[in-house]
Amino acid sequence: MLQPVFVWISFGFAGMLTFCYALPFGAKMGLRFVPTLKVFVVALCWTVLATISLNALPKNLFVLVSIKALTWMICLILPFDLRDLQKDEKALKTLPQLFGVNGVKVLGFILISFTAFMAFKTVAVDVLLYVEWGMLLLLAIALYGASPKRSPMFTSFWVEGIPILWFVASILTLTFGLGL
């Protein structure tokens, strides 16, 4: 209850987006059915929830970290969009439907490069920067291998495992001083 108003407003915003996305108001209604919007709504909700605890950072750093988190989330979603290409209705106009498999991969590589640059601007501990860059490299490899013909296990296990591996690698690096 003692959180700043900004935190409550942010949670309310993410909650309303999630409600409008997850609980359609009728057949084929809700944010998940708005063409092209799905990936951005999901990424925005995750970004708000992931960065809200950092609101005490200086405002310019908070904005940079939030932008980096948003591009991370979009990049993590792209392999799932590629996986679902053949299942998604044409009316959804997902990024793979609009740009094709190769176009989405190029977009993903551009976003991953941008995210790596943003990491350079936002990560204060060099060794953690290298860990993040390593995770972005793994994500680029996963995106390169993503395909509508690929097993669902590829995205469900390997892509979803990247943030977990990033967390473990960061903790191990900080705990045991690896690379310091």
Looking at 32-41, 117-126, 162-171, which range is the least confident one? 32-41
User: For the chain, what are the domain ranges?
Assistant: 5-176
Does residue 163 contact residue 76 with C-beta atoms inside 8 Å? Answer: yes
Tokens linked to 26 = 């009728």
Sign of the Cα torsion 30, 32, 35, 41 reads: positive
Question: Would you say residue 162 has pLDDT above 60?
Answer: yes
pLDDT at position 178, please?
Answer: 63
What is the distance between the alpha carbons of residues 100 and 117, in angstroms, rounded to a whole number?
26
Q: What phi and psi values does residue 15 have, to the nearest 5 degrees?
A: -65, -45
Q: What is the mean pLDDT of residues 21-38?
A: 75
What is this structure's pTM? 0.88
pLDDT at 107 over 90: yes
pLDDT at 125 over 70: yes
Convert the chain into a string of H (helix), E (strand) and C (coil).
CCCCHHHHHHHHHHHHHHHHHHCCCCCCCCHHHCCCCHHHHHHHHHHHHHHHHHCCCCHHHHHHHHHHHHHHHHHHHHHHHHHCCCCCCHHHCCHHHHHHHHHHHHHHHHHHHHHHHHHHHHCCCHHHHHHHHHHHHHHHHHHHHCCCCCCHHHHHHHHHHHHHHHHHHHHHHHHHCCCC
Place of tokens 């799905």: 38
